[in-house]
Structure 1
């Protein structure tokens, strides 16, 4: 049997098993906490790098369509394309989260809000970045699969605007509901 066929069958078996695991698991009102790991990317203003990034978040789900989420993202260290200073960036954020349920377990979501970013040094070559912190918009899209009433796995792609530089973050997150 070819590797592609075996991989396809294994993935199908995992999805079928996940779909039958646990009770009905639609979004319910309540608090949640989570953590994520992924990759941050920047390709602007002399910076073309990526690094491992981590996040922690918490929120309140008001109903199956709307929630508020606050979190912290360590965006890692980003090296310049040419000689220059590396940047270590982090962000504390507050976002509104709109959820679109596709099934009782699988949903998509979009989030938007504001963040307070912090850099260990200013961005060279950009006017207005003498300060190493500021407030700018953040937004993202994601998919979520709920395994049980208390646990969901999310894949998310977010953008953190830092002055005139956009830092993107792709990550896998675990969410625990209370």
Structure 2
């Protein structure tokens, strides 16, 4: 089964679950925004490196269990194992976010969607088109702790597919609800 069919089925399941619970959760809705910092990592082809990464994001929480989120991630500069060109990568993404509250303040979430990635140069030896930009799936999981109704900290691990390579991003994020 292709990764696009798997992603489509996962998004459908998240949407269906959120719709089923939506009538019960009139509270916990609204816009939010935030920023994160952490570490990007690639271990594909000639590249096996890590660098500091940053992200900004914003979204709308439709109910306690479902939201949509858009964001930008800068993966930093990733160097090849051997001589070669360093790789700078970034991504703009849109994801559906399914949230599972464990308590009033602590929850887990999963997100899946699509991203538009951009590289400053094509990855040598990568199967595919060899382009320096494209559209592929992205997905991730995280934990969130809400300190107040307006502020939460998140720990998130995401994967951004770039043709046949995977860029991973682990970060700590601050979220502000409006």
Deviations 1:53-79 (A, max 9, x none): 000000000000000000000011110
Question: Which residue number in structure 1 is paired with residue 46 of structure 2?
Answer: 46
Structure 1 length-normalised TM: 0.84
Q: 1:58 maps to which residue?
A: 58
Larger Rg: 1
- Matched with 2:80 is 80
Greater shift, 103-112 or 78-87, is seen at 78-87
Q: Normalising by the residue count of structure 2, what TM-score does the alignment of the two structures yield?
A: 0.84
Residue in 2 that maps onto 1:89: 89
Deviation at 1:84, TM superposition (A): 1.1
**Structure 1 counterpart of 2:171:** 171
How many pairs were matched up? 152
Equivalent in the alignment of 2:142: 142
Contact 2:126–2:165 under 8 Å retained in 1: no
Provide the rounded CA distance (Å) in 1 between the counterparts of 2:130 and 2:41.
22
Q: CA deviation at 1:127?
A: 3.4
Separation (CA, whole Å) in 1 of partners of 2:134 and 2:93: 12
Whole-Å separation in 1 of the counterparts to 2:53 and 2:97: 21
Runs of at least 4 residues of structure 1 off by over 6 A? none
Q: CA deviation at 1:46?
A: 1.3
